[in-house]
Amino acid sequence: MPKKTDKEDKFPNIEKELLKKRNIFICEQIDDKLAKTVIQQLMYLDSVNSKKEIVIWINSGGGYVTDGLAIIDTMKQIKSPITTVIKGHACSMAGEISINGNKRKMTRHSVWMAHDMAGGVWGDYTTKVLDRAEHLKYVQNMLHNNLKVNTKLNKNDLKKAQNGELWLTPEQCMKKGIVDEVI
């Protein structure tokens, strides 16, 4: 076994220590690598103690829809209560994830944003392009429904989120049912 350096003796592995305390971080682009890590962490912590809260800290501009939906599905499938905390920004897919906690919090200097899903179809036979476009509509409706079910966004807010960008402050997020508490 290699000998530890003085630096290793003085400083713990911060990620491991925070995970032991049931803290998970989404602080980068949401992609397949991050989704795999978050899903594994959620499943592991739930297997250790399914009654104890897991806190997901979010500071992300978003990312890939399918990877974010895989995280949301896992959040819904495990038994552990989940608190999401927006600390910085939760935009796009990160915002969609944030509204799926059992408790939802936000720090007072943070921001939340929703917008239309990015996607494209090109470079193939017309019938395949039309099939992909139909699938994109399905996924877009799924995300829109997630906003409707998990928030109190009104029709104008939802329209803005679909046709532009809906940027909200912590106070606005409280009023619109995106978070339960500003900390």
Of 60, 80, 92, 98, which residue is the catalytic one? 92
Residue 88 in 3-state DSSP? strand
92 among known catalytic residues: yes
Residue 68 · residue 54 · CB < 8 Å: no
Residue 159 in 3-state DSSP? helix
| H-helix or E-strand spanning residue 73 | helix 65-77
89 among known catalytic residues: no
Of 60, 80, 89, 115, which residue is the catalytic one? 115
* 88 Rama sector, left if φ>0, alpha if ψ -120 to 50, beta otherwise: left
Distance between CA atoms of 110 and 123, rounded to whole angstroms?
A: 40
Distance between CA atoms of 53 and 56, rounded to whole angstroms?
A: 10
Catalytic residues: 92, 115
